[in-house]
Amino acid sequence: MTDPAPDRDADSVVEAVFDAVAETAPEIRAALPGRRVESGTENASGESVMAGDLYADELLGDAITAVDGVGSFVSEERETAVDAGGAVGEGAYAVAIDPLDGSSNLRSNNAMGTVVGVYDAPLPATGRDLVAAGYVLYGPITTMVVADEGGVREEVIEQDTDGSVSRSVVEEDLTLPDDPLVYGFGGRVPDWPDAFTAYAREIEDELKLRYGGAMVGDVNQVLTYGGIFAYPALVDAPEGKLRLSFEANPIAYIVEAAGGAATDGETDILDVEPEGVHDRVPLYVGNEGLVERLETALD
């Protein structure tokens, strides 16, 4: 009787998941021009869904659930998890994605992307259960940032003339620059609690505004130049806008791995205990000093 095949270790599953994500990126990018319209449906968060969201979700769902070692697939665009076989937390992993973050930018032809979190526990889970996280950024070029226990790297994703997809690491051990340069804050001044407005006024005098309406693009600016991104708690929506499982946790994991910090205003994002998979959370993420000043300002 041979021993059962050992569970795939986290590294090999993570590598296979990001291979699958990279493989779909050129196909998603090529399909976007024809999918700039609203689908006429809403997602679990009550947001209108673009045709591009549904296409990316379908392609990524098929690719990720086919990866050996993925036990479940959870998407911002789907009410419930897709069972991919394998016991999550006992050798299999749960992969949570925002298939096309910032898809409203399709109309204005601005950056958007795909956010990925690989959890070693069934969702809802805290960010401490992440073993890796990353995002694809559909900008002038297609890049993918991947963070795992080895650190943070940036890759360029290209499709060769024979249709094969290549991943080229262009930045190893990516870390936030010490001297922050940019900021981007979601919402509008009337929506912000006074304490955040006071903080924002200080930051506006110190840093340059870089806000493009897609978290992945704005966070990529922070990773590149140093600074802070926030979609804050709002007066009428204290939970903010971004989803913990699909957006805040993966981004917090990446930025903390790059030497930064991420908070919901009081608690490290990775320690926030969700009740549901689609929970929203305020997100403040970037250079540690700027995040600490924010927490003091909101205190």
By CB under 6 A, residue 50 contacts ligand P6P = no
By CB under 6 A, residue 155 contacts ligand P6P = no
Residue 103 annotated as binding site: yes
Stretch that binds ligand P6P, among 61-69, 88-96, 100-108, 172-180 (CB under 6 A): 100-108
What distance in Å separates the CA atoms of residue 225 and residue 135, rounded to the nearest whole number? 17
Stretch that binds ligand P6P, among 87-95, 98-106, 148-156, 291-299 (CB under 6 A): 98-106
Closest CA to 52 of 115, 111, 110, 104: 104
Task: Please confirm whether the linkage preceding 124 is cis (ω < 30° from 0).
Answer: yes
**Least CB distance to ligand P6P at residue 216 (A):** 7
Instruction: Report how far apart, in Å, the C-alpha atoms of 85 and of each of 8, 92, 204, 225, 246 are.
Output: 14, 8, 49, 41, 21
For residue 99, give both structure tokens.
């298939």
Stretch that binds ligand P6P, among 56-64, 66-74, 116-124, 212-220 (CB under 6 A): 212-220
Residue 76 annotated as binding site: yes
Residue 241 annotated as binding site: yes
Using the minimum distance from each CB to ligand P6P, give the nearer residue, 36 or 128: 36
Instruction: Compute the half-sphere exposure of residue 188: CA atoms within 13 Å on the CB side of its CA.
Output: 2
Residues 6+ positions from 198 with CB-CB distance below 8 Å: 297
Candidate residues 183, 231, 253, 284; the one interacting with ligand P6P per rule CB under 6 A: 231
By CB under 6 A, residue 250 contacts ligand P6P = no
Instruction: Sort strands 130-138 and 93-101 into parallel, antiparallel or unpaired.
Output: unpaired
| Contacts (CB under 6 A) with ligand P6P, residues 52-91 | none
Candidate residues 186, 260, 274, 286; the one interacting with ligand P6P per rule CB under 6 A: 186
Q: Is 159 exposed, middle or buried (0-12, 13-18, 19+ CB in 10 A)?
A: middle
The site for ligand P6P (CB under 6 A) is made up of 101-102, 104, 186, 213-215, 231, 241-242
